[in-house]
């Protein structure tokens, strides 16, 4: 039996936690996990547009509001009402391809939306920590074979990537200007960290233009999925991996450990960097209905081909490590959808329990 309340030093029990983007892919898993650890979880996000929606299926029993991050008054009133102690900021326009059709919406949501969250934090004295979720795409991508480190330059080719680079620069500016460590506990009480993860997979993601959702939606209809860019390499990881990293950072910030108020990469070990084509082949081994056809890449927008994260900093200073290898990651993810479509069963609880059990076995820091 997993004792959820003891994880992360038991810090989340009874904590008032705001998760922006609670009904998104990552937010739904995070809200559910936090709730199990005894946190008082609140959510802030737009009404979900795509059905099915993992958060609605899970129905974790948290209080939330459906509103826009750019609606400053509603956002600030919500902070004032719930008085959060920690904010996990995940809400964003989170996809590259839609950022080409709506660059203004993407940049305003991601940059101005984050600015509004930071300002709401400044006005709400209860907040002690912010974990600001950006992306591996915040780095200036040089298409090289080495992993990016936290102190590499920010950049971004497409509007989504640049929005995340901009948010990182803004995070750094707020950490200097308003949440400076030298003024901590004198002029302010806030520790601000930003977290960068790569391609995340797992059950309950139905976004368009993401590989696994595209594969499983086609498999459910017994159709073949068109794979563009089969050689593009990504650092694949199960959604619970970066979430364990975000929760570890949140834990350290809530313990008032100032050295963790910084940027952090959370990615898989290097053997989990596989090409899109290799991932599709592995998925087929778990669910025979998966069928792939390789399509032409003509007229496609630019997409990064090679993008890896160097996670030595999180490994060494935070003692954070991934729990599952690539086989468990793919197996768990594809089985989640297979069971959902074929048996109408949600494996979310089971997946979290298996993940925590494996983490305990591996003596991962947040289980001790």
Ligand X SMILES: NC(=O)c1ccc[n+]([C@@H]2O[C@H](COP(=O)([O-])OP(=O)(O)OC[C@H]3O[C@@H](n4cnc5c(N)ncnc54)[C@H](O)[C@@H]3O)[C@@H](O)[C@H]2O)c1
Q: Is 68 in the site for ligand X (CB under 6 A)?
A: yes
The residue sitting closest to ligand X, measured at its beta carbon, is 24
Segment interacting with ligand X (CB under 6 A) among 84-92, 119-127, 221-229, 259-267: 84-92
Of 140 and 255, CB closest to ligand X: 140
Task: Report how far residue 151's alpha carbon sits from residue 163's, in angstroms, rounded to the nearest whole number.
Answer: 18
Of 108 and 354, CB closest to ligand X: 108
Of 87 and 92, CB closest to ligand X: 92
- Pick the binder of ligand X from 94, 162, 212, 254 (CB under 6 A): 94
Segment interacting with ligand X (CB under 6 A) among 168-176, 184-192, 197-205, 222-230: 197-205
Per-residue DSSP letters for 178-240? TS-GGGBTTTB--EEEEEEE--EE-TT---TT-HHHHHHHHHHTT-EEEES-TT-EEE-EETH
Q: Is 93 in the site for ligand X (CB under 6 A)?
A: yes
- Pick the binder of ligand X from 27, 204, 250, 267 (CB under 6 A): 27
Q: Which residues contact 142 (CB under 8 A, 6 or more apart)?
A: none
- Pick the binder of ligand X from 82, 90, 111, 356 (CB under 6 A): 90
Of 109 and 233, CB closest to ligand X: 109
Q: Residue 199 Cβ, how far from ligand X at the closest point, in Å? A: 5
Nearest alpha-carbon partner for 35 in 21, 54, 22 = 22
Q: Is 207 in the site for ligand X (CB under 6 A)?
A: yes
35 CA to centre of own chain = 17
- Pick the binder of ligand X from 11, 15, 17, 23 (CB under 6 A): 23
Q: Is 109 in the site for ligand X (CB under 6 A)?
A: yes
Whether 201 and 140 have beta carbons less than 8 Å apart is answered as no
Q: Which residues contact 163 (CB under 8 A, 6 or more apart)?
A: 92, 93, 99, 106, 107, 109, 110, 111, 156
Q: Residue 115 Cβ, how far from ligand X at the closest point, in Å? A: 12
Of 109 and 124, CB closest to ligand X: 109
- 3-class secondary structure, 274: strand
Nearest alpha-carbon partner for 33 in 12, 54, 9 = 12
Residue 339: Cβ-neighbour burial (10 angstroms; 0-12, 13-18, 19+): middle
# of chain residues touching ligand X (CB under 6 A): 24
Region 2-21 residues binding ligand X, contact defined as CB under 6 A: 21
What pairing do the DSSP bridges indicate for beta strands 86-89 and 129-133?
parallel
Tell me which residue has tokens 């904590």: 15
Q: Residue 336 Cβ, how far from ligand X at the closest point, in Å? A: 15
Fill in the DSSP letter of residue 4: G
Q: Residue 147 Cβ, how far from ligand X at the closest point, in Å? A: 15
Task: Report how far residue 194's alpha carbon sits from residue 263's, in angstroms, rounded to the nearest whole number.
Answer: 5
Of 235 and 367, CB closest to ligand X: 235
Residue 70: Cβ-neighbour burial (10 angstroms; 0-12, 13-18, 19+): middle
Q: Is 106 in the site for ligand X (CB under 6 A)?
A: no
Site string for ligand X, 37-56 (x = CB under 6 A): --------xx----------
Burial of 144-177, coded b for 16+ CB within 10 Å and e otherwise, reads eeebbebebebbbbbbbbbbbbbbbebbeebbee
Q: Is 133 in the site for ligand X (CB under 6 A)?
A: yes
Q: Is 194 in the site for ligand X (CB under 6 A)?
A: no
Q: Residue 144 Cβ, how far from ligand X at the closest point, in Å? A: 19
Residues that bind ligand X (CB under 6 A): 21, 23-27, 45-46, 68-70, 90-94, 109, 113, 133, 135, 197, 199-200, 207
């Amino acid at each position: 039996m997993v004792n959820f309340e003891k994880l992360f030093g038991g810090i989340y029990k009874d904590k008032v936690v705001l998760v922006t983007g609670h009904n998104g892919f990552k937010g739904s898993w995070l809200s559910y996990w936090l709730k199990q650890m005894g946190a008082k979880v609140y959510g802030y996000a737009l009404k979900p547009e795509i059905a099915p929606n993992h958060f609605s299926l899970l129905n974790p029993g948290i209080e939330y509001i459906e509103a826009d991050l750019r609606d400053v008054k509603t956002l600030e009133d919500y902070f004032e009402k719930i008085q959060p102690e920690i904010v996990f900021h995940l809400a964003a326009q989170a996809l590259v391809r839609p950022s080409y059709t709506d660059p203004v919406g993407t940049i305003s949501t991601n940059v101005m939306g984050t600015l509004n969250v930071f300002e709401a934090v400044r006005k709400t004295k209860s907040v002690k920590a912010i974990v600001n979720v950006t992306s591996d795409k915040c780095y200036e991508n040089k298409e090289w074979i080495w992993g990016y480190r936290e102190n590499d330059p920010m950049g971004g080719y497409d509007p989504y990537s640049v929005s995340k680079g901009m948010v990182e620069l803004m995070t750094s500016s707020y950490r200097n200007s308003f949440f400076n460590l030298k003024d901590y506990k004198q002029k302010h009480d806030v520790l601000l960290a930003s977290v960068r993860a790569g391609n995340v997979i797992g059950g309950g993601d139905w976004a368009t233009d993401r590989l696994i959702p595209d594969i499983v939606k086609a498999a459910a209809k017994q159709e073949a999925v068109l794979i563009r860019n089969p050689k593009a390499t990504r650092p694949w990881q199960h959604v619970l991996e970066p979430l364990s990293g975000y929760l570890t950072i949140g834990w350290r910030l809530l313990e008032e450990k100032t050295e963790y108020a910084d940027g952090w990469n959370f990615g898989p070990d290097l053997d989990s960097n596989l090409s899109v084509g290799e991932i599709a082949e592995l998925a087929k081994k778990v669910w025979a209905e998966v069928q792939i056809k390789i399509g032409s890449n003509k007229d496609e927008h630019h997409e990064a081909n090679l993008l890896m994260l160097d996670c030595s900093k999180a490994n060494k200073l935070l003692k954070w490590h991934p729990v599952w290898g690539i086989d468990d990651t793919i197996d768990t993810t594809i089985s989640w959808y297979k069971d959902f479509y074929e048996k109408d069963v949600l494996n979310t609880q089971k997946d979290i329990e298996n993940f925590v059990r494996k983490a305990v076995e591996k003596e991962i820091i947040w289980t001790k």
